[in-house]
Structure 1
Amino acid sequence: MYTDLKAFIDALQLETIAESRKEELQTLIDYLLAKKAQALPIQLNFICTHNSRRSQLSQIWAQAMAVYFDVEAKTFSGGVEVTVFNKTAVNTLIKQGFKAENEGAENPVYSLSLADNLPEIKAFSKLYDHPDNPSKNFAAIMTCSHADENCPFIPGAEARIPVRYEDPKIADGTPQEAEVYAARSKEIATEMKYVFSQVQG
């Protein structure tokens, strides 16, 4: 894992997570533990409306924490509409230690890497049932209330788990934009660190 990325993860403080939030995260932890106990593949599809910010950040941080804690898991993301992976979200991840390259203009495909010897994460806005995503034996992790309420059925999902985050889009175009995105990304990273810390070993 890249030095800067590992240092960022090392510094995340799990005690900043409220006990009430840990209770909300327990359903996801229980799902992961059950899969691990049965030696079954772990596949997580993080879903929000536009697959632009929260679901992308959640997928990428969950994959990073799986690597960090040596938990075999594959993470994915999707939306109920196709837009674009928000550039401020991408730049936030780069500042926090990932490396990224992109190709395409209208809906760029970003190749994010955690280390030179690990597979890249292909990140772009897509529907939750895109061919790149699993069609069965996965958990649908609902990261926004709009997608959770307006997408009552996710075909192929064996579990549906709400892990909602406030949309950093509220700060778009303001002087606080970079700060809000950094804070949201750090919040998601911290919670994914907590979740996967409960599954390691």
Structure 2
Amino acid sequence: MELTKIILFPEIEKIINTFNFESISAERKIVLQPLIDFIQNKVTNQQEIRLNLICTHNSRRSHLSQVWAQTAAAHFNIKNVFCYSGGTEATALFPVVAKTLEQSGFKIKIIAAGNNPVYTIKYGENEHPIIGFSKTYDDDFNPQSEFAAILTCSQADGGCPFIVGAEMRIPITFEDPKAFDNTSQQAEKYQERSLQIATEIFYVFSQIKSQ
């Protein structure tokens, strides 16, 4: 039986068509391989795939990674993928991250305001939105067992030697776009980091063979 293809927003599809997996170095592909192996093993055994993308403040890289991972699963029609994010501490999703994702075609709304707003992030008209807000990696909102903990920053990687409930701990670290906050390069550097994360995560999901 042929699987129904999930329809992403056209603006997101245009961005996806620009991804160049050849731009990912051989060394970086080695870093990404454990995540490919984790997902492939779950797909082969017809098990749910839970990914918890973790950064120090759960404000930038972990949210970009969560959103692009859920979108990649939809794009490649890999079922039962549930992506989460968390930090070693909770702060707030940085507004420039939401703006950067909007520029790539995501539809974003704030459904609860305050110091730590809650966002809905949609990648397709008929798809369930991703819920984005800052939380610790072990928050009740996140899975408590049978997940891969993916460390997206070196501080979280160093600060989390053991993550309770994680089946696997996979460091895939990215440079922090925060370094360019309040500079003329801010928008450009956030977009650059978002697209790097997206390209690498789409590469990961492109390697998965469905059963």
TM-score by length of 2: 0.94
**Residue 70 of structure 1 pairs with residue 49 of structure 2:** no
8 Å Cα contact 1:141/1:160 also seen in 2? yes
8 Å Cα contact 1:56/1:123 also seen in 2? yes
Alignment of 1:1-201 (within 5 A): 1-72=8-79, 73-102=81-110, 103-201=112-210
Runs of 4+ in 1 over 2 A off after TM superposition: none
Q: Partner amino acid for 1:179?
A: E
Q: Partner amino acid for 2:24?
A: I
Give secondary structure in 2 for the equivalent of 1:175.
coil
8 Å Cα contact 2:51/2:83 also seen in 1? yes
Task: Structure 2: state its 5+ residue gaps.
Answer: 1-7
Separation in 2, partners of 1:7, 1:68: 12
Separation in 1, partners of 2:26, 2:162: 30
Separation in 2, partners of 1:110, 1:54: 16
8 Å Cα contact 1:62/1:192 also seen in 2? yes
RMSD: 0.8
Alignment deviations for residues 63-90 of structure 1 (CA, whole Å, 9 cap, x no partner): 0000000012110000011111011111
Separation in 1, partners of 2:125, 2:114: 25
8 Å Cα contact 1:111/1:121 also seen in 2? yes
C-alpha displacement of 1:23: 1.0
Q: Would you say how many aligned residue pairs link Structure 1 and Structure 2?
A: 201
Task: Structure 1: state its 5+ residue gaps.
Answer: none
Alignment deviations for residues 31-81 of structure 1 (CA, whole Å, 9 cap, x no partner): 111111111110000001000000000000000000000012110000011
8 Å Cα contact 1:70/1:200 also seen in 2? no
Alignment deviations for residues 140-180 of structure 1 (CA, whole Å, 9 cap, x no partner): 00011111111111110010000000000000010000000
Separation in 2, partners of 1:70, 1:156: 27
Give secondary structure in 1 for the equivalent of 2:17.
helix
C-alpha displacement of 1:198: 0.4
Q: Partner amino acid for 2:55?
A: C
